[in-house]
A and B are shown apart, each in its own frame.
Chain A
Amino acid sequence: MRRPWPLYVYAVLLYGFIFAPILFLIVNSVNADRYGETWKGFTTQWYVEAWSSPGVIEATRNSLLVAAASTAASLLLGTLAVLGRRLRPVALVIDGSTLARILIPEVVLALSVLVFLTSIGFARGFTTIVIGHTLFSTAYVSIIVAARMARMTPATWEAARDLGATAWRAFWRVRLWEIMPAIVASGLLVFIFSLDNVVTSYFLSGSTVTLPLYMYGLIRFEISPMVNALGTSIMLVTSVLMALAALANWRWAVGRQTVRQLRTA
């Protein structure tokens, strides 16, 4: 079926609007012109400069550690929250808090964490950033894992119990594997969220500088061309992670579907 031509124009404009800035960033990351005003030839100078700067390397290390720690913590807590949800009266509290952490503006959340942690004597630094990131990351883990749990029946759980497994063993040998796609997907997602977070990190950083904070520093007074190179680098890494997350969920979904088709066939 042919669609009317204005739709094509609209699509081109929309995607242009979304992707033009990103394209501009990528092009300028290899543009020899320091100010990105005209094309002065291809260069890898900014990449070399960026990735040989001790500040960048230190910030990257911090970012990766924060992301790893907060992802691990939020996977554990977020999944446990969903499992605990099965206890009826607790469900409302858990659901409410999950939603709240997504709906409350990040500035407010970060600020309240800052005020609370400093009032009980925490110094700002690596730990406080991890706590801040974990706070919102658990919410996303809970939502994704809960969505998967909602589509599961108790059948395989009962089968495991029937075959002699205790509740604990049934969880480790069966349930965990069934929610694994959701755990992998949400883990990759919150890892990325942590990696590019600015607001919470900014409030809770103290002397610990993460990569986004470092980049923010780079553009404060004049825009350093290193930012383009760093931005492109981060985008590459996150794109790969996103693709992996999508693949994890998709592969499982497709697997499930074939089973269902066979059963009805």
Chain B
Amino acid sequence: MSRRQVANESSSPPVVALRHISRIFGGSAAVSDLSLELRRGEFFSLLGPSGCGKTTTLRMIAGFERPDAGEIMIMGRDVKMAPPNRRPVNTVFQNYALFSHLNVGENVEFGLREKGVARAERATAVREALALVRLAGHEARRIQGLSGGEQQRVALARAIVNQPNVLLLDEPLGALDLKLRRAMQEELKMLQRRLGITFLYVTHDQEEALLMSDRVGVMSKGRLEQVGSPEELYARPASAFVADFVGEANILAAQVEEGPRSGRVTLRLANGQTVTAATSGETGASAGALVLRPEKIELERGPIAVGGCRLSGIVENAFFIGAFRRFVVHLGQDVRITALTTDASSPIAPGAAVSLVFDPDQAWFLPGEIPPKSAEGRASPNTAQPQTTTGHNHENPRPDALARQL
């Protein structure tokens, strides 16, 4: 049976079940009324900006924090009052938290000794765990002599050697440089597939969450905004926050002109142009946010606008970024859309009149949602600094740039 089949088997009981848990720090809720179930063998990521409560959630499962309300079940057992050492979970800590007075082998062996596993058995288990993280034969090395990547792998081996029901990973790759992080992401994913252990992975890096996870839970301000597969989150975000945080998106304020009817809605943008989009909401909301992924938009020369799934505007800025070209198109009345195209042949210069073409199924309308201020009229370069996209103090620098070009 493949791992994915196991993961999708809804009949098997959840490995971890969080029911309406809350945690309050000094009067403000770090986590509020959060419910979540982790399925056996899945790679689940909790994704959100710093301070969203994802680490607190992980620490409540590990037993380092006690929820102020709600219950935590692991393998069907209520563990709310159980100390960390009596929970069938292990953690890979953010800064590894290796024991520097012990060597690599002794670090990995630590949990087994606490469990009272016999010496010979321990040695075999340690050898196997180190082999899994590609550190075979490194038992006698000192922690101080290891590189960051090697320390990361020791921390991983130290946790998985105990065969936990759930492995909790708290931003484990945060301290590594970009190249090493990429390599470790693949390695982690492969390891998880091979072991079949449920992984709960906490990260603020949306790209990391998308590429590794079976399912992702997006958190904001202590609440779970959406849980779904990476594809669902990307194509059908449940809120403007998710749309903005996951991937790059144009998020525009829109008025409902017509619909929704059979999953389609006709919208009027702030500059008066109309467009058709997909939506799930059957609510009677008269306004909301339109989400348009930059790479789903094609650019065509000429100002012909035939309504429906076409918008027209003037190219304000064009950038060449290797595999892609990035265009910022001004639709008028300060409405701007970023488009990402792979067309490398004849570059469209700033000032050219263009129309934007897209499949209405790729445009997603969120009734009642308000676009994040910073995301209005621009796609957020999310990979670099996810936090900034939720900031509210960004001046739009583009008019100046345009003025300089002219």
Known: A262-B146, A263-B148, A265-B147. A164 touches B97 (CB 8 A): no
Interface size band for B? 20 to 34
- The CA of A65 and the CA of B159, in the complex, are separated in Å by 47
Given A156-B99, A158-B84, A263-B175, CB of A258 within 8 Å of CB of B144: yes
Whether A173 pairs with B110 at a CB distance below 8 angstroms is: yes
Taking a contact as CB atoms closer than 8 A, the residue among A155, A160, A256 that contacts B110 in the complex is: A160
Query: Which of B83, B115, B143 contacts A259, CB < 8 Å?
Result: B143
B103 within 8 Å of A (CB atoms)? no
Alpha-carbon separation in the docked complex, A241 to B191 (Å): 51
Chain B CB within 8 A of A159 CB: yes
Q: How far is the CB of A170 from chain B (nearest CB, A)?
A: 8
Q: A156-B99, A158-B93, A259-B143 are in contact. Are A163 and B148 (CB under 8 A)?
A: no
- B95–A169 CB distance below 8 A: no
Is A89's CB within 8 Å of the partner chain B?
no
Verify if A166 is at the interface (C-beta below 8 Å from B). Answer: yes
Cβ contacts under 8 Å, A265 to chain B: 147-148
Q: How far is B158's CA from A235's CA once the two chains are assembled, in angstroms?
A: 48
Closest residue to A256 on the B side, CB-wise? Answer: B100
Give Cα A163 to B117, complex, Å: 13
Which chain A residues lie closer than 8 Å to B162 at the CB level?
Answer: 163-164
Main secondary structure, interface of A, reads helix
Q: Does B210 contact A (CB under 8 A)?
A: no
A184 within 8 A of B: no
Q: Report which of B101, B111, B144 forms a contact with A164, defined as CB distance below 8 A.
A: B111
Residue of B nearest to A259 (CB): B144
Closest to A258 in B: B144
Chain A nearest Cβ from B248, distance in angstroms: 30
A116 to B98, CA, bound (A): 49
Tell me if A161 counts as interface (CB < 8 A to partner B): yes
CB neighbours (8 Å) of A177 from chain B are 99, 101
Contact between chains at A159 and B148 (CB < 8 Å): no
> Which residue of chain A has its CB nearest to the CB of B114?
A164
B91 and A159 contact, CB distance less than 8 A? yes
Choose among B101, B111, B143 the residue that contacts A163 (Cβ–Cβ < 8 A): B111
Cβ-defined contact, A174 with B99, below 8 A: yes
Task: Please determine whether A255 and B85 come into contact, CB atoms closer than 8 angstroms.
Answer: no
Chain A residue numbers with a CB within 8 Å of B148 are 262-265
Whether A196 is near chain B, meaning CB under 8 Å from some CB there, is: no
Task: Say if the beta carbon of A117 comes within 8 Å of chain B.
Answer: no
By a CB distance below 8 angstroms, the chain A residues around B63 are 161-162
A159 touches B144 (CB 8 A): no
Contact present for B85 and A165 (CB under 8 Å): yes
Is the Cβ of B95 less than 8 Å from the Cβ of A159? no
Against B, the Cβ 8 Å flags (1 = close, 0 = not) of A81-101 are 000000000000000000000
A167 to B84, CA, bound (A): 10
Q: B147 and A159: CB pair below 8 A?
A: no
Q: Report which of A158, A166, A262 forms a contact with B97, defined as CB distance below 8 A.
A: A158
| B280 CB–A CB distance under 8 Å | no
Contact indicator A163/B114 (Cβ below 8 Å): yes
Residues of B whose CB lies within 8 Å of any CB of A are 62-64, 83-85, 89-91, 93, 95, 97-101, 110-111, 114-115, 143-144, 146-148, 151, 158-159, 162, 175
Give 6 closest A-B pairs by Cβ, nearest first: A163-B111, A164-B114, A155-B97, A159-B97, A177-B101, A161-B84
6 contacts between A and B (CB under 8 A): A158-B84, A159-B91, A160-B99, A162-B159, A163-B85, A262-B148
